[in-house]
């Protein structure tokens, strides 16, 4: 997990996403930044929670 934190997404990219959401008329209540995280959100919708927890446990 520490490796991910050290090599994580650049703050500029997150700041752009926050600015974009803040200036929209009707922003989405949830904003996912980054392709890898979008995949996790998608898988979380279609796969059982226990399996997702297992995959994330294997990654970290």
In this predicted model, what pLDDT tens digit does every residue of 2-60 receive, in sequence order? 777 777 788 899 999 999 999 999 988 888 888 878 888 888 899 999 998 898 888 77
CA distances (Å), origin 8, targets 27, 46, 50: 24, 26, 25
Q: What predicted TM-score, i.e. pTM, was given to this entire model? A: 0.60
Instruction: Note the pLDDT of residue 16.
Output: 93
Query: What is d(CA 1, CA 18) in angstroms, rounded to the nearest whole number?
Result: 24
Look up residue 47 and give its DSSP letter. S
Instruction: Note the pLDDT of residue 55.
Output: 85
C-alpha neighbours within 13 Å on the C-beta side of residue 50? 0
Query: What is d(CA 40, CA 60) in angstroms, rounded to the nearest whole number?
Result: 14
Asked whether 33 and 9 are in contact (CB, 8 A), the reply is yes
Full domain range(s) for residue 50: 2-59
Total of domains in the chain: 1
Instruction: Note the pLDDT of residue 15.
Output: 93
Instruction: Note the pLDDT of residue 24.
Output: 92
């Amino acid at each position: 997990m520490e490796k991910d934190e050290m090599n994580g997404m650049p703050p500029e990219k997150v700041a752009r996403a926050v600015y974009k959401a803040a200036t929209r008329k009707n922003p989405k209540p949830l904003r996912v930044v980054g392709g890898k995280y979008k995949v996790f959100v998608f898988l979380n919708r279609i796969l059982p929670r226990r399996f997702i927890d297992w995959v994330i446990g294997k990654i970290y």
